[in-house]
Structure formats: structure tokens, C-alpha cells
Structure 1
């Protein structure tokens, strides 16, 4: 069998190369690992987690939630040993009760029993004064007739004067006994009550912080300590991911960034996601950057892009952080 001449082989290769020029982009891009939808913007899901940490160090004695659980607002998350905090609350409550008792005591007069003693002394003095005045009158008549002595008259007069002064003193004591304390003393006692209330509020807040509850409905994204372990102050015990804290981060080429505006709605898709998902743009980066390495796109790897963030219009934690998404091109 005769081999074809070299010229014929060269001619056939030229024909094949020329034919490839008419192959459409959709036919040869998949061969290079590209996608016909490379005009969509690529990105991923990011979650803004809330780190829940105690303000004081202590031993973790309870953690009723686990990684992956969903909690409702008000659900108990964990408990740090509260023995010391409870004792401080009890001490503050006792100190406040003492301060209130002192304050209320200053607002009132003496006790009824003390008032009864003063009034009894008044009646006794009044009776003695009646007798003294009678004796004074008798001595006055005797002196006028020349039968009495001046000394006896003066003694009777002095006795009556002393009893009148004693009666006036007891009347003043009764008035004072019905009065409250001096204004300065009352103000000082009121300040101690306010101070005690503040101390009690502070102690109760410390106790509350050792037993935090979920601030909102959320997913327990991660836990960092187990029951029995020592938790340093300010160190997160677990992290929460509320549905409304999920957002998209995608990258828009520089030629399209002028179309993006905060508040605009974009459509996006992801694997296993239902159709028709939308999100609202909440942030547009003012600086351009090269496509990050986390975005695997052969055709976009050298383009300048701008980071854009969007919040899904239907909040859901079904979009786990790190999930790749593709966003439809922005409208003109």
C-alpha cells in the first residue's frame, strides 16, 4: 500500500485548523474548563457570627446546646459557676434592706412608746405645777397679812417657775419627737439607698452574664468549651449565626461595577438551592482588586473586580458560610 505524499498530509492539517476557526465559543470553552455562564458573577456565602462569652472567668458547669442546634430567643446557652455571684447578690440585697430601714426610720418620729413616756411626764409636771401655784398663792396671802416670811414666798415662787419651765420643755420634746430627722441626715440616708440599689443591679447583672440566653433565634455554629473546663474571662464559649446575619460576597468586573447601587436586587443561584433566590446589595467596595484565589474561574482569574455584598431577601441559615454562589449580571 502506497503512503500518501507529504504534501497531502500538510493540506489535510491546514483544512482541519481552518475548520476549528468556525467552532463556536460554547463548543471549545468547556474543553478548556470554562463555563458558558462565565458572565455570571462568582462569590460565596459568609456568616456574621455572634461570639457569646462570659465577662468573668469560671468553670463551665452547664451547656445545654450543641453545635448545629437551633435556639430560640431567650433559650439558655451555658452557665458559668455562679456561687460567688449569687453570694454577692445576697450581700447587696441585705445591704440595701439595711439602708432602706435607716432611711425610713429617719422619715418618722419617735416610737409610740417613747411618746407615751413624754406625755406621762407632762401630766406629772402639770399636777405638780397646780400644787406649786396653790402654795404660791397661799404664801402670797400670808406675806400680805404679815404672817408669812419672805423666804417661804420666794421658795414657792421658784418652785412654780421651775415646774412651768419643765412643762414647756416636755411640750417641746413632744413636738420634736413627732418630727423627722434633719434634712441633711435624710439626704445622706437617701443617697445610701440609691448606692445600694446600684450595687444590687450590678451584682444581678454579673450573675445574669454568667448564665446568658440567646439574644435572637439562631444556629449554634460552633462550641469551644465543654462542661467542666475553665473558661477565661472574655473568651467565647460558643458562636451563634442568626438567619439575618447571612450575606453574599461576590465580585463584579470593573466594566460592570457602575451598574451596582446599594439597595438594588440581584438574583443568585447555588447548588441544591431553590430557584428564584434574590438578595439586596448592602455594600460596594471602593477599591478594585484581582480576582481572589477562592474564586475558581479560568477566564476571570486576571480581571480586576470589585467586592460587593448583598443580604438575601429571605433570611435563612440554610445557606452555610463558604457555599459558592453565582450571581446574575447586573441590569443596565
Structure 2
């Protein structure tokens, strides 16, 4: 066989073998390649601030440190808040004591004292009446002057008024507190309880608590600074759960049912992250400029969310990623353009 023919045959065999192992150099395959989508890891940040003003006494974390949900990040001076709480608790104790007093009524000793005062007033009335009657019989004969008679009558009237007053006082003590007074005391207790609850809330607001786990992105203030309500103290990035925001054109919406399994990859690592489609937007929007797709940027797309099942530090917020649908055995992939 001529040498030229041998060379041509070897080349032909090599091309055929390469075509087999590369599925026709990518031009044919036993099945369609799974569709890919492009997106970014969601940026989830929260600015944390006190709801009270005061001087910061403690800043417990630095930038880059991880914190758990419920961790105390910072503290402001709580002396005035503690004083307010103690004052509110004292007012509550006083209001409760007044309520108990009004419900229990007056003590027997108080009723006994009022009864004794009434008897004393009655004795004085009898004496004044006797003197008045005596002088009234003598004033006509001139044995007693008109002035002395008028004085005895006034004393009698005063004694009668004292008996009436003592009688009314004893009646009030025996009747006890009015329903209106008891209701007012109940309201005073409720108001005092609300003041205590508010003071406790304000005291708790003297601590800045992490609302969720994450990484401290920035530390804005330092101990000794005087802060005001709403002023940022820390910025926290929320790293769990990890969400990915991606976009798909309308012809591919049929592939993106919630619960669909996907693989997530990045350009910086060979690791494959497992994820699940958790949400598909009901409305269309224009492709954001930060998302790289093969379609024109002016095309309308639908946003969807992927929840990553096995996140780690390799996925950083804002990082571009590629999402690939996981093939399900026995399920034919829908065609797409």
C-alpha cells in the first residue's frame, strides 16, 4: 500500500475515534444538553441600630467575624434605663397597695374610732341641749341675758352639726370604697404595669441583638460614641440560607417549577452546589445588566430564586453563578431556543 494512502487512513481513523469520544465534536449527542441559566448570589445585608440614644459602652465584634442569632453585638449605658425601670416598679407597687386597700374596705379599728367620735359628739350635743333648754326658761324672767341665751343656742347648733358629721363619717367607713374608686384603682394598676413593661422594653433596647446569623461586614461606631436612634452601628450580611437570583426567558418557564433540583457552579471553583428552585416571578422584566446570558439584553425574562442546600464560604454575595437543571431519569427535557 502506498505510504500516502496509509497516512490518509490513519488520519481518517483518528478523526472517527475523536468524533465518537466528543459526540461529533459537540454537534451531536445521545440526548440534549441540560439547559443553563445565569445569575448571582443574592446580596442580603441589614444595617443594625439601637432604638434608644445613649453612649456606647461595648462593641463586641469586629469586621469579618461571624455572629450567631441572638448574640449581643453592642451595649449602650443602661444606668438611666435601669433607674426608670425601678421607678416604674415602685409606682406599680403603690398602685397595687391602694387597690387592695380599696377592695378590703376599712379596718375595724377605723370604724371603732369613728363610732367613738360619734358618741363623743352626741354627749356634747346632750350637754349643749341641756344648757340651751335651761337658759331658754330663764331668759323671759331676765335671769339670763339675751346674749347668753343666743350663745347657748349657737353651741347647741354646732353640737348638732358635729353629730351629723360624725354619723356620716361612720356610715362611709362601714360602706367601704365605692365601685368607681375601685375601678379607678384598677386602672391605675394597669397603667403602672404598662409603665413597667415599657421600661423593661427600653432597657432591653439598650442591647443590640443580632437578628440572625451572619458575618459582620462593617463596624461603624466605637465604644464611647454617643449614638441616636436609627444610626447604623453594624452592617450584617446574612449568609444562611443562601439565595441565588437568576433569570429565564419565557420559552423555558416550563422547566422551572418550584421544587426542581438544580446544580450551581462558579467560575472560581469546581465544586457543584445542590439547590432547589423555590420561587418563580409571576411577572416579566428586562434582563439586568449584571446578568450575562446568550440572549439579547433587551429580551423580557422571568426572575426565579434558587435555594442552595449545601452552601459554604465558596459562595459569596454578588458572585456570578451558573445554574444547570438536574436531569430526572425517565423525564424528557423540554426543548428550548
TM-score normalised by structure 2 residue count: 0.64
The correspondence of residues 1-332 of structure 1 with structure 2, limited to 5 A, is 40-117=36-113, 177=173, 179-270=175-266, 271-272=268-269, 274-284=271-281, 286-290=283-287, 292-296=288-292, 299-300=294-295, 302=297, 304=299, 305-314=301-310, 319-329=315-325, 331-332=333-334
Distance 1:26 1:63, change over 3 A: farther
For the residue of structure 1 that corresponds to 2:278, the secondary structure is strand
Distance 1:194 1:318, change over 3 A: farther
| Structure 1 unmatched ranges of 5 or more | 1-22, 29-36, 129-165
Q: Give 1:148's aligned residue.
A: none
Q: Structure 2: how far apart are the matches of 1:317 and 1:91?
A: 49
Q: Structure 1: how far apart are the matches of 2:77 and 2:90?
A: 22
Structure 1 position 86, deviation (Å): 2.5
Structure 1 position 208, deviation (Å): 1.2
Q: Deviations over 1:49-80 (max 9, x none)?
A: 33322223333221112222222333212112
Do 2:34 and 2:324's aligned partners in 1 also have CA atoms closer than 8 Å? Answer: no
CA RMSD in angstroms comes to 4.2
Distance 1:112 1:197, change over 3 A: same
For the residue of structure 2 that corresponds to 1:239, the secondary structure is strand
Structure 1 position 97, deviation (Å): 2.0
Structure 1 position 193, deviation (Å): 1.0
Structure 1 position 321, deviation (Å): 0.5
For the residue of structure 1 that corresponds to 2:42, the secondary structure is strand
Q: Structure 1: how far apart are the matches of 2:270 and 2:92?
A: 58
For the residue of structure 2 that corresponds to 1:42, the secondary structure is strand
Do 2:50 and 2:206's aligned partners in 1 also have CA atoms closer than 8 Å? Answer: yes
